[in-house]
Amino acid sequence: MTDLLLIATLGFLGSFGHCLGMCGPLTVAFSLSNPGQSPTETSWPAKLRFNLLLNLGRILSYGLVGLCIGTIGSVLIAGGQLAGIGSGLRQGLAIVTGLLLIWFGLHQIQPTWLPKLPLLHPTLGKLHDRLNHLMFRLANISPIFLGLLWGLMPCGFLYAAQIKAAETGNPQLGAVTMMAFGIGTLPMMLGVGSSTTFLSRDRRSQLFRLGGWVTLAIGILTLTRNSDMVDYTGHSALGLLALTLIARPIAKLWSGPLQYRRALGVGAFILSIAHIAHTVSHTFEWNFTAWQFLLPSQQWGFLSGVMATVLLTPPAFTSFDQMVKALGNHWRTLHLLSIPAFLLVAVHALLLGSSYLGALTLSPNHWGRVVGLGLIVIGVMATRSRYSWKLVGQEKRYVKAKQSLIYQQRDRQPPCCND
């Protein structure tokens, strides 16, 4: 119920900015296209009825989309080991969903902090235009049918609700989630012809950014569900941090990680905070005296994790343009803290992780994971070393720290989270 209220709140607050600017003109145009009636001939009740039916169709369309998305989610998590709230796939979906929602929220709060996600294929822009043109041609038909088409138009603001609908893994909940979002946008869409005059542009912008905080809250709640998320958030943080560290050296082979390196680094920090929250609330149950019952190796592992998070904090909070300019030459030195942080995270996982040496009983599988994690750490550090590339005769493909600026300017992405 809390999630539905947050989704509806997101729709309501976001409608003052995005929906008003993108869909407001459509609403006015549809109202003026009301068959057989001009703006002066149409009574206020008739306009209200037309817009109610129009938005009812839009919300029903959202519900149908949510039903389809939820059905796909239910198929993916049905059967075998993928079933159940603790399944690996479900937890993975929760992590991806939470991170995407946090990304959307931060971008909505301050667009310059993070780049837009490339979720829309270029052809969908043409699809948007085609549907827009079709709706104006069909403006004389039932407003409900018109609203059904309207709800199918690609819209970046809908992604937060659609991602949440997919994460439910249930057709009914997926439909209800999308409809809750649509209901949240209803007041603005109904009153777009009158109430907008009472809200200044600055006020609408403030409400839209407030919606970003709601999106951020939904993402955080998605990441903080149950005790099974402890290992998932920890491994995800380790993976994102590793990708952040190798983004610059491999830029000639794969420029994608460098383009979104800032988001990867900040994502690793967010997941590390979520990992700590899970550990404290579910493993220790807020009983810090349990520390003394840990084995010495586990205590060292716990301290390594805390130290890693402390080292990641300065890079995470300085991963935007203003701090790059303010810190100057000291910025790169500060972000090199990500390297010892990565090593400490690996030590934390090895000594405390239940999949590694932190298990009470060690099996060959545990030792295999220890070796695997060790090889990953060695691989990351070797990838960052120019000597390693020279050793295999690929030095020309290695991207130096000074060269990374060229790739960042080419992709129009500000530098981030360590060179």
How does pLDDT run across 268-323, given as a tens digit for each residue? 898 888 788 878 876 777 787 888 888 899 999 999 999 999 999 999 999 877 88
In a domain, residue 301? The reply is yes
Amino acid at the residue 324: V
Asked whether residue 419 is assigned to any structural domain, the reply reads: no
From residue 120, how far is each of 110, 123, 126, 300, 382 by CA, in Å? 20, 8, 11, 45, 35
Q: Is residue 418 part of a domain?
A: no
239 and 188, same structural domain?
no
Give the domain extent around 381.
229-410
Helices marked H in 138-246 — which ranges? 143-150, 159-168, 171-190, 201-223, 229-246
Instruction: Please indicate, yes or no, whether residues 170 and 113 belong to a single structural domain of this protein.
Output: yes
Burial 282-316 (b: 16+ CB within 10 A, else e): beeeeeeeeeeebeeebeebbbbbebbbebbebbb
Number of domains in the chain: 2
CA dihedral in degrees (132, 134, 138, 142; nearest 10)? -60
| 238 and 300 co-located in one domain | yes
Domain end among 184, 208, 223: 223
Q: Which of 190, 223, 256 is the last residue of a domain?
A: 223
Looking at the structure, tell me whether residues 306 and 202 fall in a common domain. no
For residue 302, what pLDDT is reported? Answer: 92
Pull the structure tokens for residue 335: 């972000």
Q: Is residue 296 part of a domain?
A: yes
Q: For residue 261, is it within any domain?
A: yes
Return the pLDDT at 26.
55
Please say whether the beta carbons of 379 and 365 come within 8 A.
Answer: no
Task: Tell me, yes or no, whether 134 and 272 share the same domain.
Answer: no
The pair of three-digit structure tokens given for residue 418, joined into one six-digit string:
């360590």
| Residue 284 DSSP label | S
Tokens standing for residue 367? 């030792």
- Amino acid 256: pLDDT: 74
Q: Are 48 and 139 in contact (CB under 8 A)?
A: no
Residue linked to tokens 């603790």? 86
Residue 416 located in a structural domain: no
Give the total residue count for the chain.
Answer: 419
pTM of the model: 0.58
> Are 338 and 236 part of one and the same domain?
yes
The answer to whether 263 and 114 have CB atoms below 8 angstroms apart is: yes
Contact status, residue 227 vs residue 282, Cβ threshold 8 Å: yes
Smallest CA-to-CA distance from 419 within 396, 397, 394, 399 is with: 399
Enter the tokens of residue 49. 């009825």
Residues 184, 50 share a domain: yes
* 249 lies in the same domain as 377: yes
216 and 294 in a single domain? The answer is no
Neighbouring residues of 247: CB distance < 8 A, sequence distance ≥ 6:
257, 258, 261, 264
Residues 189 and 272 in one domain: no
Q: Domain end: 177, 193, 223, which one? A: 223
144 in the same domain as 101: yes
Say whether both 269 and 150 belong to one domain: no
Residue 415 inside a domain? The answer is no
Average confidence (pLDDT) per 10 residues, the chain, 419 residues: 74 64 55 47 63 83 88 66 51 70 71 58 48 53 70 67 80 90 81 48 56 63 57 81 93 82 84 82 77 88 94 91 84 91 96 88 92 96 94 90 59 44
